[in-house]
A and B are shown apart, each in its own frame.
Chain A
Amino acid sequence: MIRDIALPPHEIAQEPSGLTLVAVQRRGVPLFHARLSVPAGASEDPRGKAGLAQFTADLLRRGTMRRDARGVDDLIESMGTGLGIEVSLDEAALSLTVPGDLSRHALDALLEVALEPSFPENEVASARRRTLASLQSDLDEPSSVAARAVVALGYGPQHPYGHPAHGFRRDVETFQREDALGFHASRFNARGALLAVVGTAAPADLLALARERLLQVKWPSDARRAPLDFASLPRQGMRALVWHKPDSTQAQVRIVASGIPRRSPLYMPGVVQNAALGGGFTSLLVDAIRVDRGLSYSVSTRLLMARHAGLSVFASFTKNETLRELLDVALEKMAAYARTGPSDEALTKAKSYLSGLFPLGLESHEALAEQIADSILDGLGVNHLATYRSRLAAVKAAQARDAAAQLSPARDGTQILVIGDGEVGRKALADLCPVDVRPIEELA
């Protein structure tokens, strides 16, 4: 009998500034975690400034109104922790985990870095050089290249999600101090932001601590911004893009189609059917590609769900000689699955699998804060977590079938991405769909 998970004691408060405060009590290991999410994700990058959200977030720690970069390092790292900086499509999130007795110090440090950056001119220039070097260096890692290519191609260049968070070389080269200052001033709003704190104290005490520390800082902006246009352009016909990486003996493969946002009614059946198709170690595709044929070490499908849109992605890799075989098997299996959906046995197994593993995502302070923050910011509410297992259990075969048909990575308009040897890719894909081969340097 599957029961829902009782979330640990928590309180959620909406502050007059528009900030959402979340306090969660987690007993056991004496740690304190704070996570500040602000509506400053990669989708907010201005046109021609792809990567500015990430660039701005990275610069936060390179100097504040109270201390220089070295002083910021000392402030944070003397506590024995690193500052987490994540820029997703929708948010920028800063986080810290420290021993519980340093909670006040940690909150002060987090808020100072997030809300009082000084963006020194020399640090901006240095960060620009580092980012450009990283963009070039990342080309040596096929998985990083694939991740960049998936969002760029999956959403398309006109979509707010249609570029990698670190941006493109041509845009990063133009970044100036004013860009970072302007981005910070206009996007680091209390309205739309969320501060989550997790510790051993009672939620009311944690809330009081957060409010007390928030009095010490001022939010840079309360400007309202025009909503972005997240409409997707329909695509027709399959096409392939091969990013040429010389002397590769293995090809990274992604098959990408449109997916769903996190708030979609298809969310739960989508998650279930995806687990049966390409999740875990016993999915249909793992069986067909790894277990039965030994074609790859890693096979998966994922629904990449952001707040306003999503992608459905098949991912694997194989040696050059079996690239076409892997593609044929994957496309055939996924097309068939889109017609039939999961078998009754596979559906039951997928639901049990997801249900059993769900609590693992709530174990650590960091995971708990992130899950609760995202649920609130996505408009799902903590009920999304509290009822997760019963909603999983309630997914019917017809719903899973319908979701499989709508979300298969192998549909009309799907894009095939290959990162590997250009000629190998061209030959393997030639009679499958139109193929474009480009040098990998174009992805920087």
Chain B
Amino acid sequence: MRIVYMDHAAGKPVDERVLEVMMPYFTQKYGNPSSVHSFGSEARKTIDEARIRVAELLGAERTNEIIFTSGGTESNNLAIEGVAYRNKAKGNHIITSSIEHMSVMNTCKHLSKQGFEVTYIPVDKYGFVDIQALEKNITDKTILVSIMYANGEIGTVEPIGEIGEIAHGKGACFHVDAVAAAGQVPVDVQKENIDLLSISSNDMYGPRGVGALYIRTGTNILPVIYGGGQERGLRSGTENLSGIVGMGKAAEFAKAEMKTEAARLANLRDKLIKGTLDSIPESYLNGHPTERLPNNANVRFSYIEGESLILSLDMKGVACSSGSACTSKTLEPSHVLLAIGLKHEEAHGSLLFTLGKHNTEDDVKYVSDLLPDIVKRLRKISPLTPKELTV
């Protein structure tokens, strides 16, 4: 059976070239970068090189603006909590959007219990942050604006530069969760007025368990993890040497190959979307048709339920994801789909394909050929389907 993996938002394979570079750091070059001897200084050099690669990818001015962490979630936690506690004296207001990743949502929720006030800016039907609402809600007490670069679920790419200007206009820090975007679309922290930016290694085909936070010089934050003072004291704990090496290499490849790969994926994405919407009645696209991540196709079908779709596709060797709650712990569907104004049953019937570098045109054809029959079969089982769709 043909195997087609289209759930790259959930997890990506490690690039083989990256793995190769990482291997010696497990068994041969295992020095601790804090050590004085030659093992240590070699490790230090390697980490500094990785830092340069990541800084280049993000357009950072200095390499010491990059802090390595354990992943996107930690970066988001460190950025938001770090800014909040450091700037307590200045104000207690935080602005974020209603479609953020859980690592931003729940950190903000936690802070709101610690006396901070959090405003969740709504989004429109495409998932664009409501700029007017942002301008209305931002005050002199606002210490942090945290908006994601692009949403991993519906793919919408936010107008980050504009939001950054508004945040800086009121003297607030601007944090961007770019985990889904980095390596896919060009990110430039200088041009886009970004003070803090989170990325994760696995989303660029690097190893898991590594991430980074960009912190603009002059932006002060407090650490969340205390210890031996590694990473300028902002992220203590012996560096994950092999992971960091891998991340550096992954960032290097991402920067070099972004342009061609993004164009290729966008082409596949559009074919998948078009193929699906054309061949299946009452199917719709979630998110914006053009302003979306090149690898993201999120479609929904009336009268059927996402988990049944995933199971059916899985039987044919296709791995993807859904916005349905029946795959999660509760009955509530994805907060992102609800935030863009979908009804519960519409959110339940959504399907998310995220393409990756191993997907080919044949894969897309295979999936779009499969889908009509699967949807038809499930609609036949469903009592909600109107008669004319079942014949």
Partners in one complex: no
Chain B interface residues (CB < 8 Å from chain A):
none
Chain A interface residues (CB < 8 Å from chain B):
none
